[in-house]
Structure 1
Amino acid sequence: MMRNSPAAGDITANSYNDHANIPRAPKPTNKFTNTNDHHPKEMVDELSFRLRNMSDNSPHPQLEDIDSPTEDDMSLKDAYRSRMLFGASPSTQMSPLTRSPWASYVERPATDLCDPNSNYTGLIASLVREEGNIYSLAATGDLLYTGSDSKNIRVWKNHKEFSWFKSNSGLVKAIVIAGEKIFTGHQDGKIRVWKVSGKNPSVHKRIGTLPTFKAVVNKSLKPKNYTEVRGSHKNIWIKHFDAISSLSLSEDQSLLYSGSWDTTVKVWSVSDFKCLESITAHEDAINSVVSGFDGMMFSGSADGTVKAWRREYEGKRTKHFFIDNLLKQECAVTSLIINPSGTAVYAGSSDGLLHFWEREKLLSSGERLTGHKLAVLCLAAAESLVFSGSVDATICVWRREKGGEHKCLCTLSGHTGPVKCLAVEDGSRCRWTVYSGSLDKSVKIWRVSVEPADGERQQRARSSSGQIFSRMREKSKQVTSDEVAAVYLIAGFNWDPFAQPIKLGGKAGSGSQFK
């Protein structure tokens, strides 16, 4: 039965602390943890000797040397001291400070954080304006668009506010970019279209609203264009009568899909803004819709299902046909994404699980990943990586390995509220920039750097391990923390002894260091 309340799994600023209504995920397992119970004794002895005799002139500050700690810094310090004194807990229960085996808090120069060739993984910057919670964002080129519940859409460039424009429609729930057009989905059920001014790149002009006023008037003249909605009310089929929760573009960017809490998916022409089709897809609010390979479209709903649809053309008309239910469960489906290669479909749920289906298996068998304690609200993908943002205020970074297995590479921590939206900027040489928007009213920018595939990484480790140990035996040379971390990884250790909070002049954030 369709509800009049917000969709299950859709978290608002007034409700995100009320976790009682959100099913908790099963206890996380260390299925993907890279551990090794057998450590070479000689390596351990040499590392211990070296660490005990580190010079007082080490460039890595002790915890007490950090000036003006914030509350987050202090909590991280306490956690750090606890690990130093008592070691890591054997429990698999996640905590707010849970990090991947390679996670480290490293204080680094600003030049290193901004260097695109740096292998640093972690928080780069935090963009904060005390005006609203962040519900949507989209990145294109060097610009980042953010939508909030403040009626404003802000544009950021080089980590600074570049411009803004007002939508006059309340909460901005979705943003997608198709060439020079920017589409925004709103709480009032309308889609607004914007374009950058040719004279001034900081000025954005509204060039349309979907459905258009002309289309609404024309459809209103014929009774056959009305459909029954809640109760005895009727509505024109080209209009959403509830909030738009998701927007997605077809592969060729000729079609725009809009999913709504009114249980329908509507298909629009990007070129002339016409509504081509309306699909009553689910029995409850639609939380996410995504279009991808082979004319396929997927919809996820608060009714607990993920449905697959195929696009076909009947003359000049576009029509979508239902193919299959990929998922049926009690928990709401809150987010969907297709990886860039089109080989897998991912779905996040309100129970904290991440489900996926592989294209080569004809989407017939779904598997799941466990990494979050609370609902997964958003997903993003880049090459073999998948990013999941959750009500637990963390972002898990997953990598799809050969054979379809997935490994959790790291957990990004720094938000103080649910992570509501994610975007990834295409990277190079295994480096990406990740943007996350949260109900803590901030947008955080992360650098994620990963090692190549296992085979290549092992080969590089074998070739470099001899050089690192050779340097360690030279007492006249100071060993850097990066080298020690690399040796720890080779030796089978899963903890960086030089873990430190990142100091960026704001709240602390965490990530992982891959070398």
Structure 2
Amino acid sequence: MEVSRCLSFHIHPHKKSEPDDDPHHFSPAASTLTPLSSPQTPWTHTPFHSSSPSQTLLYQCVTSLRRHDQGNILSIAVLQGNVITGTESNHIRVWRQPDFIERGYLKANSGNVRAIAVFGNVIFTAHQDHRVRVWNVTAGNSDNFCAKKLSVIPRHKSFDFVFRKKNLRHQDCISCLAYYHTEGLLYTGSWDKTVKTWTVSDQRCIDSFKAHNDTINAIVVNQEDGFVFTCSSDGSVKIWRRVYGENSHILTMTLKFRETPVNAIALSSSFNGYYLYSASSDGFINFWEKENTSGRFNHGGFLQGHRFGVLCLAVIERVIFSGSEDTTIRVWRREEGSRIHECLAVLNGHLGPVQCLTASILAENVVMGFLLFSASMDGTFKGWRVKIISEEHNTKNDTRVVICSSKMTPGEFERCSNRDQMNADEFLEFGMSPVLSPSWVQWKLQSNHNYF
């Protein structure tokens, strides 16, 4: 498979941003007009090549960008043919798919954008000052991209005293966002262990409750029934239901498989029901299946293959993407009408922990295609093109497929994990990472070995 060559050019850093007073906080990038020279972006394209020998899945890295002074990418979202990235700086950058030309950036007076949620032409971004910015954008594939800041949640700083008195403002970092578009409600989860519900129309907090005993790492809303899913470093996943006719929420179920932090969750719908996936610091991806009759979620098994903790998930239909501390991205597929999962490929390229992922679908006849976007603590942002050949058109058996479920034979378990065996080449690969120190790798391997 021919692999796209990435452009290589150097770009000068941006000027320091100004306060967030003007409601129009969007700056177009010069790269929109001159793709090979952009004085406004601190990112450069770097060449990278990759392909998969699998007959079931083909992939290529179509672009690789490295930062200069913006800090790590902390959040990614896809909106109308564009990729939105939030970093440690106060710039939320906009990239065009699939050529990754920078179209501009949204500018706020606070950085550390750890969460981004999108719906329609609206972007929600969470910032270091424990507030959320709401932006209206006009995007599409043309060069006409503009954005306007609609509001800040909670409202202006002059209301700070009132919000603090009523305990309606988060007291620590907002780590995750979820928008329930049917009711126009925005859910925010925080390191302060609470979940808050906001009405986007008037920026009011209508409910606030302590959801976990430790930091909340992810939040998801089922758009069909409004159920809210949260996960935490306390090792649990919880399911919440809004009380009919009221603004309060009640806990309906707590899911817990191991005493280890849960870093990410994702929902996947199917003809038979729903699957809930949770990514843990022990390297497992647990999944639960929802019963259509009772509505209960039953533990269906786990996906095993990552050596270290799984930090992020992206799910589209029956395909699951997982990013890990072990610097890799794994692509899994659930068999139709079954709990059995296959590991189709391991994407290598990052040199540090993969801390955020998102994906969009590209249907191509008999081939299911995706654009996958990943960001790592090594300072790189990568775009991948992934193609999965349908089962009926795959005529060759792929010996690299790993069956990962709760019912595995000893041989399958050994193939799937191999956690306590790392050869010299693999250790060297981790040792070369600018983020993962050899001593940390040894400690993680020893911890995993003791755990099992």
TM over 0.5: yes
Cα 1:400/1:290, change in 2 over 3 Å: same
Contact 1:191 1:209 in 2 (8 A): yes
What is residue 102 of structure 1 aligned with on the other side?
54
Equivalent position to 1:457, from 388, 393, 397: 393
Whether 1:343 and 2:274 are equivalent positions in the alignment is yes
Tell me which protein shows more strand as a share of its residues: 2
What is residue 284 of structure 1 aligned with on the other side?
214
Equivalent position to 2:358, from 417, 423, 430: 423
Cα 1:135/1:103, change in 2 over 3 Å: farther
What is residue 432 of structure 1 aligned with on the other side?
370
Task: List aligned pairs for 1:466-485, cutoff 5 A.
Answer: none
* SS of equivalent to 1:322: strand
Where relative contact order (Cα < 8 A, 6+ residues apart) is larger, the structure is 1
Contact 2:335 2:341 in 1 (8 A): yes
* SS of equivalent to 1:171: coil
* SS of equivalent to 1:351: coil
1:279 CA drift (Å): 1.6
Gapped runs of 5+ residues in structure 1?
A: 1-69, 77-98, 105-118, 227-234, 462-488, 496-506, 508-515
Whether 1:330 and 2:259 are equivalent positions in the alignment is yes
What is residue 194 of structure 1 aligned with on the other side?
135
What is residue 510 of structure 1 aligned with on the other side?
none
What is residue 327 of structure 2 aligned with on the other side?
393
Equivalent position to 1:209, from 152, 157, 172: 152
Whether 1:377 and 2:377 are equivalent positions in the alignment is no
Q: Relative to structure 2, which stretch is displaced further, 290-299 or 356-365?
A: 356-365
1:349 CA drift (Å): 0.7
Structure 1 residues 342-362: Cα deviation after superposition (integer angstroms, max 9, x where no partner): 611111011111011111272
What is residue 84 of structure 2 aligned with on the other side?
145
Contact 1:101 1:494 in 2 (8 A): no
* SS of equivalent to 1:436: strand
Supply the AA of the counterpart residue of 2:316.
Answer: A
What is residue 306 of structure 1 aligned with on the other side?
237
TM-score, normalised with respect to structure 1: 0.61
Provide the rounded CA distance (Å) in 2 between the counterparts of 1:205 and 1:251. Answer: 20
1:493 CA drift (Å): 5.9
Report the RMSD for the aligned CA atoms in angstroms. 3.0
Cα 1:103/1:151, change in 2 over 3 Å: farther
Cα 1:288/1:493, change in 2 over 3 Å: closer
Provide the rounded CA distance (Å) in 1 between the counterparts of 2:93 and 2:291. Answer: 40
TM-score, normalised with respect to structure 2: 0.69
1:494 CA drift (Å): 5.4
Supply the AA of the counterpart residue of 2:388.
Answer: V
* SS of equivalent to 1:241: coil
Q: Alignment length, in residue pairs?
A: 342
Cα 1:215/1:367, change in 2 over 3 Å: farther
Supply the AA of the counterpart residue of 1:457.
Answer: H
* SS of equivalent to 2:159: helix
1:256 CA drift (Å): 1.4
Cα 1:411/1:493, change in 2 over 3 Å: closer
What is residue 412 of structure 1 aligned with on the other side?
347
* SS of equivalent to 1:417: coil
Supply the AA of the counterpart residue of 2:54.
Answer: W
Supply the AA of the counterpart residue of 1:354.
Answer: I
Provide the rounded CA distance (Å) in 1 between the counterparts of 2:231 and 2:306. Answer: 19
Structure exhibiting the larger radius of gyration computed from Cα positions: 1
* SS of equivalent to 1:188: coil
What is residue 383 of structure 2 aligned with on the other side?
445
1:101 CA drift (Å): 7.2
1:432 CA drift (Å): 0.8
What is residue 14 of structure 1 aligned with on the other side?
none
Provide the rounded CA distance (Å) in 2 between the counterparts of 1:120 and 1:100. Answer: 5
Cα 1:365/1:494, change in 2 over 3 Å: closer
Cα 1:236/1:307, change in 2 over 3 Å: same
Whether 1:364 and 2:312 are equivalent positions in the alignment is no
Contact 1:197 1:205 in 2 (8 A): no
Task: List aligned pairs for 1:215-234, cutoff 5 A.
Answer: 216=159, 220=162
Task: List aligned pairs for 1:76-115, cutoff 5 A.
Answer: 102=54
* SS of equivalent to 2:298: coil
Provide the rounded CA distance (Å) in 1 between the counterparts of 2:53 and 2:208. Answer: 47
Contact 1:295 1:312 in 2 (8 A): no
What is residue 107 of structure 2 aligned with on the other side?
166
Contact 1:100 1:408 in 2 (8 A): no
Provide the rounded CA distance (Å) in 1 between the counterparts of 2:259 and 2:357. Answer: 25
Task: List aligned pairs for 1:120-131, cutoff 5 A.
Answer: 120-131=58-69
Contact 1:103 1:410 in 2 (8 A): no
Q: Relative to structure 2, which stretch is displaced further, 177-186 or 249-258?
A: 249-258
Provide the rounded CA distance (Å) in 2 between the counterparts of 1:124 and 1:444. Answer: 8
Cα 1:360/1:427, change in 2 over 3 Å: farther
Supply the AA of the counterpart residue of 2:151.
Answer: G
Provide the rounded CA distance (Å) in 1 between the counterparts of 2:47 and 2:390. Answer: 36
Q: Relative to structure 2, which stretch is displaced further, 420-429 or 247-256?
A: 247-256
1:321 CA drift (Å): 1.0
1:282 CA drift (Å): 0.7
Contact 2:121 2:138 in 1 (8 A): no
Contact 1:396 1:411 in 2 (8 A): yes
Gapped runs of 5+ residues in structure 2?
A: 1-45, 402-432, 434-452
Contact 1:216 1:236 in 2 (8 A): no
Task: List aligned pairs for 1:264-283, cutoff 5 A.
Answer: 264-283=194-213
What is residue 119 of structure 2 aligned with on the other side?
178
Cα 1:209/1:378, change in 2 over 3 Å: same
Identity of aligned residues (%): 40
Whether 1:254 and 2:184 are equivalent positions in the alignment is yes
What is residue 64 of structure 1 aligned with on the other side?
none
Tell me which protein shows more helix as a share of its residues: 1
Supply the AA of the counterpart residue of 1:243.
Answer: C
* SS of equivalent to 2:225: helix
1:202 CA drift (Å): 3.6
Supply the AA of the counterpart residue of 2:155.
Answer: T
Cα 1:368/1:191, change in 2 over 3 Å: same
